[in-house]
Amino acid sequence: MSQCSRPGYESGFFVFFGVIFMEIPKKTRIKDTHALKSARKKFCQVCGKYQEAGLHEHHIKSRGAGGDDVEENLVTLCYECHTKVHAGAITLDHIVKKELPGLEVVLQIFINHKEQEEESKWEQSAALVVLHTGLGLKIGEISTAVGLSPAMIREMIRTFNAFSEEGTRVPELSYYHHRLASKSSDPVSWINAAADNGWSTRQLEQEMKEAGCLTKKAKTDTEKARAEKTLRLVREILEEGSEVSDWFYAQIKKIVTETIAKAS
């Protein structure tokens, strides 16, 4: 059975294209003719023009956008000012009291985006698997195309392959939990243990280290990631062409010379 046809691969591939967008449920707009009448004043709240009748009630948040017929969302304007407001010539900032949204609304927005972020990680991982395994691109080529480091790409591919079946993932735990668990020879057992014990990522990592369960490949990938990061930093410093770069180059040259001498 090929890599592309094994269970989980195809489902993961389609998960990548099936992005789920979450929204806060829209409430029904309040319609109240009595509120419109009671909120109407006999003077324009912008220019102060007095008028017994004929002034307009303007919805601060438009009805089309779901604005309610409530006093807090209504302002009395004369014909001239009302026209200018709709034309964008004047604003109602000095009248409208700007209020922060409620705590529950803000928290719900945060949770929604956090969930979308977590889901996006799995979709990105699936895409990387398709690029690497399905289309045969090398890690370096993918890195150049998507702007992720080779180390991160290897991690994300390993994570997806370890949890290609959605049923093996634990939604309550972060993508990073799954990344850590994927370093072991039994990722599913470790992610379930993390869920059962309520481990943070730090605790999961510590438990795995103490158990000595990291695979040889995971250790090699970690060492390679450190080496790649160090190499990038070395290149950046040398390319600056400053006094520090010259000093750093001399130190590197000294270390290399000493290492060769010891090896000979």
Is 107 domain-assigned? no
- What local confidence, expressed as pLDDT, does residue 154 receive? 94
Is 48 domain-assigned? yes
- What local confidence, expressed as pLDDT, does residue 38 receive? 75
pLDDT mean over 117-132: 94
Lowest mean pLDDT among 22-26, 87-91, 99-103: 22-26
Q: What predicted TM-score, i.e. pTM, was given to this entire model?
A: 0.50
Structural domain boundaries, residue 59: 33-87
Is 264 domain-assigned? no
Using alpha carbons, select from 84, 162, 160 the residue that is nearest to residue 128: 160
Give me the residue label for tokens 């001239």: 80
- Residue 27's pLDDT band, with cuts at 50, 70 and 90, is low
Token pair for 124: 């990105």
- What local confidence, expressed as pLDDT, does residue 217 receive? 74
Amino acid at 90: I
CB 36 within 8 A of CB 72: no
**Would the pLDDT of 251 be above 70?**
yes
- What local confidence, expressed as pLDDT, does residue 6 receive? 46
Percentage of the chain modeled with pLDDT above 70: 84
Phi/psi at 197 (nearest 5 deg)?
-100, -5
Is 68 domain-assigned? yes
In angstroms, the Cα distances linking 5 to 12, 14, 87, 122, 167 are 11, 13, 59, 19, 18
Residue scoring higher pLDDT (231 or 54): 231
- What local confidence, expressed as pLDDT, does residue 50 receive? 83
Is 193 domain-assigned? no
pLDDT mean over 10-17: 47
**Would the pLDDT of 94 be above 70?**
no
- Positive or negative: CA dihedral 243, 246, 247, 249: positive
- Residue 29's pLDDT band, with cuts at 50, 70 and 90, is low
- What local confidence, expressed as pLDDT, does residue 46 receive? 82
Highest mean pLDDT among 15-24, 142-151, 218-227: 142-151
What would the pLDDT profile of 158-176 be if each residue is shown by its tens digit? 999 999 999 999 999 999 9
- What local confidence, expressed as pLDDT, does residue 107 receive? 81
- What local confidence, expressed as pLDDT, does residue 43 receive? 86
Is 67 domain-assigned? yes
Token pair for 130: 């398709």
**Would the pLDDT of 152 be above 80?**
yes
- Residue 150's pLDDT band, with cuts at 50, 70 and 90, is very high
**Would the pLDDT of 177 be above 90?**
yes
Amino acid at 32: D
Amino acid at 140: G
CA 230 from centre of chain: 27
Q: Give how many domains the chain has, as a whole number.
A: 1
**Would the pLDDT of 30 be above 60?**
yes
Task: Give the mean pLDDT of the chain.
Answer: 81
pLDDT mean over 58-63: 78
- What local confidence, expressed as pLDDT, does residue 21 receive? 37
Is 128 domain-assigned? no
Is 70 domain-assigned? yes
**Would the pLDDT of 122 be above 50?**
yes
